[in-house]
Structure 1
Amino acid sequence: MRRIKDSSFRLWFFCIVLITASSVALIKTPPAYAYGRIVVLYAAASPILKELGVGNKVVGITRTDKTFDDAVKLGSHLKPNLELINALRPDLIVAGSVRAFPREMAERVKADVFYYDPGSLEDILVKITDLGRLLGKKQEASVLVKRLREKLSLVTALSKTPSVIYEISSNSLRVAGSRSIITSIIEAAGGVNAVKVQKKHVLLSPEKVLELNPDFYIYQVGPMNRNPEPPLKRPFFRSLHSKVVEVPELKFARPGINAFEAVIDLNKIFRGEDNE
């Protein structure tokens, strides 16, 4: 009877060890060599991968991505060509938000998916660290994070905190809300977003803009705001007293390495050192 109990115990212990080992294996981060073919479906992440030294592994990108010349164009980040993606046989896909590349879409490709959707400058640094760990590039990621933090140290303190409204699109006037990366850039530069709505993009009436009366009205020019009429030439903004500044969308609105340079530029604008 003693022998049976000992045998049962050994069998139970062996099963526990086996289950535990299997669980650890499931959550273990794959080694760097496991990812030899990468598809990037969010252009903001591409410069990071280039900085980490894995650009030679990128086989597919979106049509607006200018980072890798030899990669295949796969459509937009919202409507990627899944057949073409599968034809490239990637083992890792770097996507934007879950909304842009939902789980059901991810299940149609035979690759791991890393979601890159930072909402702040600090989130960008966290994502860089995560990518470095995932791709076996921890040291490169650490160097990049340090460099970007040092860039923020170049911001000059302001005597006054300027309020800002940031125009995303002049059509059906859309502006940056408090959940936009723009808000993080504004705050790091020493300002404050006058729009407090907990959304990335907010529909705002011209009357509300005049009511908020921000110190700066910044409007971007790029894919989301092509050839906008300068705000002060718009009939409903004739009484706007804000300083109006034009900025490039791809530097300010993409949540990537560029956002840290945007902070420095915006800080200069706040100090009156812009070229206008």
Structure 2
Amino acid sequence: MTDRMHPSVHQHATVPATARPLRPGRTLAVALLLPLLLLTVLPAARAGQPDGPVSVTDDTGREVRLPHPARRMVALYGAFNELLAAMDLTGRIAARTAADEEPAAIRHLPVIGTHMRPSPEMVTAVAPDLVLQMEGRREAGEAVEGLRALGIPVAVFRVGSFDELFGVLRRVGVLTGEPDRAAALEAALRARLDAVAARVADRPRPTVFFEVRHPNLLAAGADSIVTDIIARAGGRNPVTAQGRVARLSEEELLRLNPDVYLLQRGPMNPEPEPPATRPHYATLSAVRNGRVLGVDEARYSRPGPRAVDAVEELARYLHPDVWAPTPATTAPTAPTAP
């Protein structure tokens, strides 16, 4: 404990002659209260959290520097809330967007607008020391610059693969002063991915098409987290167009003729018509063979911890034989006494 932190050590170094010694009961009370006072004065030290400046470079190449680890955060992209929750840092989330209700613990928080158009006034009102945003369309960039103009630090990240997701996780660990929590979460998620990889390593890889939206068909592109999910689950995305999403014609889909068709359900594709009832889709191999699977948009298209759940789910669907439970062995029957 330094003198700088407790200047009163020098100011009251001597005890007045008229002061009476503490009675044993008071001595015990002071001894019990002192640790509580120190914990109140030094909350960062109590948690093992560094209290000095922290900085990272975000995925736009900008340095994000904070005078101390972030304690009040606003995520303009919901997956970052899930990432913070998985690090057990839900208590540091100060607000949410209108569309984000996961984890359930953030549903009572103030709403600051939408992912693309947050209200600067509402964001300022919750006094964040860090805002997290996903790199995306022009509108998202404009919102970021508006918040920075108000003096609010904003980190912008790009996630199109698990390696990029883990890179974001490590930097969030730095910005929150919790690198150990970030490392532990990364290790746990990687272990689950490795377990899937070991099971599907020698399996044939079916082509897996991912419908982002229909009509005006959009598919998962080569640079999306979905493509990495498919690959790690033991499949292959036949769409090779660059970008997170790719616009496809029905003719191109028929040419690709995927083995498996994943039908996303969520805000981007709220009520998709079953492919078997669409004109021309009935000829697709996936439809003819009943290999159409409806999946949750939040799990597959939102690059966060639940993307690992998506890998496990899809691997079981693509390769059910390697996930079959091991038959229970029958215990030998004890010989009966003669």
TM-score range, shorter chain: 0.7 to 0.9
Structure 1 residues 162 and 92: alpha-carbon distance in aligned structure 2, compared to 1, 3 A threshold: same
Higher relative contact order (CA 8 A, sep 6+): 1
Q: Which piece of structure 1 moves more, 62-71 or 140-149?
A: 62-71
Give CA deviations for 1:69-100 in whole Å, capped at 9, x if unaligned.
33211222111111111122211101111532
Give CA deviations for 1:221-240 in whole Å, capped at 9, x if unaligned.
00000111011111121211
State the secondary structure of the residue aligned to 1:193.
coil
Aligned match of 2:83 in 48, 54, 59?
48
Quote the Cα distance in structure 2 between the aligned partners of 1:118 and 1:28: 18
Structure 1 residues 248 and 176: alpha-carbon distance in aligned structure 2, compared to 1, 3 A threshold: same
State how 1:123-134 maps to structure 2 within 5 Å.
123-134=164-175
Give CA deviations for 1:240-260 in whole Å, capped at 9, x if unaligned.
121211111111110000111
Quote the Cα distance in structure 2 between the aligned partners of 1:31 and 1:110: 13
Aligned match of 2:233 in 189, 208, 214?
189
1:108: how far off? Answer: 3.3
* Aligned AA (1:186): I
- Cross-structure match for 1:252: 300
Quote the Cα distance in structure 1 between the aligned partners of 2:163 and 2:64: 25
Aligned match of 1:177 in 213, 217, 221?
221
State the secondary structure of the residue aligned to 1:152.
helix
State how 1:47-126 maps to structure 2 within 5 Å.
47-66=82-101, 67=103, 68-97=106-135, 99=137, 100-102=140-142, 103-126=144-167
State how 1:10-29 maps to structure 2 within 5 Å.
none
* RMSD of aligned residue pairs (Cα, Å): 2.0
Give CA deviations for 1:149-178 in whole Å, capped at 9, x if unaligned.
011022121521111110000120100110
State how 1:206-217 maps to structure 2 within 5 Å.
206-217=250-261
- Computing the radius of gyration from Cα coordinates, the structure with the larger value is 2
Aligned match of 1:231 in 268, 275, 285?
275
Partners of 2:161 and 2:228 within 8 A in 1: yes
State the secondary structure of the residue aligned to 1:217.
strand
Quote the Cα distance in structure 2 between the aligned partners of 1:234 and 1:272: 28
Structure 1 residues 98 and 247: alpha-carbon distance in aligned structure 2, compared to 1, 3 A threshold: closer
State how 1:151-162 maps to structure 2 within 5 Å.
151-155=192-196, 156-157=199-200, 158-162=202-206
Runs (5+) with no aligned partner, structure 2: 1-54, 56-62, 324-338
State the secondary structure of the residue aligned to 1:168.
strand
Aligned match of 1:142 in 170, 174, 183?
183
Task: Write out the 4+ residue segments of structure 1 that deviate beyond 6 Å after TM superposition.
Answer: none
1:120: how far off? Answer: 0.4
Structure 1 residues 127 and 28: alpha-carbon distance in aligned structure 2, compared to 1, 3 A threshold: closer
* Aligned AA (2:190): R
Q: Please state if 1:269 is matched with 2:306.
A: no
Give CA deviations for 1:206-233 in whole Å, capped at 9, x if unaligned.
1211111111111100000011101111
Q: How many residues align?
A: 248
Structure 1 residues 207 and 69: alpha-carbon distance in aligned structure 2, compared to 1, 3 A threshold: same
Partners of 1:85 and 1:109 within 8 A in 2: no
Runs (5+) with no aligned partner, structure 1: 1-23
TM-score (normalised: structure 2) = 0.69
Partners of 1:154 and 1:264 within 8 A in 2: no
* Aligned AA (1:137): E
Structure 1 residues 28 and 71: alpha-carbon distance in aligned structure 2, compared to 1, 3 A threshold: closer
State the secondary structure of the residue aligned to 1:73.
coil
State the secondary structure of the residue aligned to 1:175.
strand
Structure 1 residues 202 and 98: alpha-carbon distance in aligned structure 2, compared to 1, 3 A threshold: closer
* Aligned AA (1:147): A
Partners of 1:42 and 1:96 within 8 A in 2: yes
Structure 1 residues 170 and 53: alpha-carbon distance in aligned structure 2, compared to 1, 3 A threshold: same
Structure 1 residues 48 and 28: alpha-carbon distance in aligned structure 2, compared to 1, 3 A threshold: closer
Structure 1 residues 71 and 241: alpha-carbon distance in aligned structure 2, compared to 1, 3 A threshold: same
1:146: how far off? Answer: 0.3
Quote the Cα distance in structure 1 between the aligned partners of 2:145 and 2:154: 12
Identity score, percent = 32
Structure 1 residues 91 and 172: alpha-carbon distance in aligned structure 2, compared to 1, 3 A threshold: same
Aligned match of 2:245 in 201, 204, 214?
201
1:31: how far off? Answer: 5.8
Partners of 1:92 and 1:112 within 8 A in 2: yes
Partners of 1:178 and 1:199 within 8 A in 2: yes
Quote the Cα distance in structure 1 between the aligned partners of 2:71 and 2:312: 36
